Structure 1
C-alpha cells in the first residue's frame, strides 16, 4: 500500500521517544495468543471502530494487541507466526492535514526502531523480530500518547 502522507521523515535513532509519553498515558492490552488477556473496554472497542486496522503490515499479520491513542486514534501491534515478526502501525481516527505522529517498537529499552513525522492518516508500519521475545511499543498523535511495555511475547 503506497504512502500518501506528506512531509514524511524517518528517524533511525530517537532517544527521546519516552519524552513523547505524557503524564496522561493510556495503556490497554489484549494479550498475544497463549498469554492471559486483559479485558477490553468499551472505549477501546469504540476507538477501534473509528480507526480500524488498515492491513498495512501485510499478508499473514494478525492483530494481537491494540491501544487507544487518546481520543484521536489507535495503535495496533500485529504478529506473523510464520515469520516470527511483529509489526506496529498507528492510525488516526480522522485523516486530514498532516500532524506530528510517532510510533516505535523494540525488544529492549533501546528505542531505535521509530517512525516520526507529519502524517495525514497513519505512522508505520514498523517491523521487529520477536520469536521467543517480548516487544515494547509506544506512540503519539499530536499531544496524545500511549506506552505498552512487553505486551507481546512471541
Structure 2
C-alpha cells in the first residue's frame, strides 16, 4: 500500500510539473500584464490614448489631486524585450521627460505637471512611433502622427 501511494504521489507530482512547464513555455500572446493605472499609480485616470500600430497603445493619464500627467506605452503582447519609449512635453513650461530602452511589457512612466496646460506626448514600440501634439487643450484640435522607421 505504501508503494502504491508513493507511485501515485510521484505520478501526480510529475503531471503537475509537466502542466506547469507547459504553461510557462506557452507564448506570451495573452492580454497585457499591466495597465496605465498600474504603471502610473493610483489616482491616475486615462484621459487620452493612441494606438502604436497593432503593437500596443500609448496612454496619457491625469491625476486631478496633484495636476500631474503620466505617459506609458504598453505592449499588446508582452514578451522578448524590444525598443520602446514614452515621452511627455509641456510647451508652456518647457518641461519634458523621456524614457526609452529595451522593455518586455511597457515604457514609462514619465510625469509632467499639466494642470491648465496643453501637452505633447507619445511613444514607440519597435519601429512604430506615435506623436500627439496640442493634446487636452479644450477647443483646440490635437494633431496625431504615426510613422515607422
TM-score (norm 1): 0.63
Deviations 1:36-71 (A, max 9, x none): xxxxxxxxxxxxxx5573421111110000000011
Which of the two has higher C-alpha Rg?
2
Which structure would you say has the larger RCO, counting Cα contacts within 8 Å and 6 or more residues apart? 1
Give the Å deviation of 1:91: 0.3
Structure with more of its chain in strand, by fraction: 2
**What pairs up with 1:1-154 in 2 under 5 angstroms?**
51=32, 53-55=35-37, 56-108=39-91, 112-153=96-137
Task: Tell me the distance in 2 between the aligned counterparts of 1:96 and 1:73.
Answer: 12
Hey, which bits of structure 1, 4+ residues long, moved more than 2 A? 50-54, 109-112
TM-score (norm 2): 0.65
Residue ranges of structure 1 left out of the alignment (5+ in a row):
1-49
Give the Å deviation of 1:111: 7.7
Q: Does the CA-based 8 Å contact 1:131-1:153 persist in structure 2?
A: no
Structure with more of its chain in helix, by fraction: 2
Residue ranges of structure 2 left out of the alignment (5+ in a row):
1-30, 139-149
The corresponding residue for 2:24 is: none
The corresponding residue for 1:21 is: none
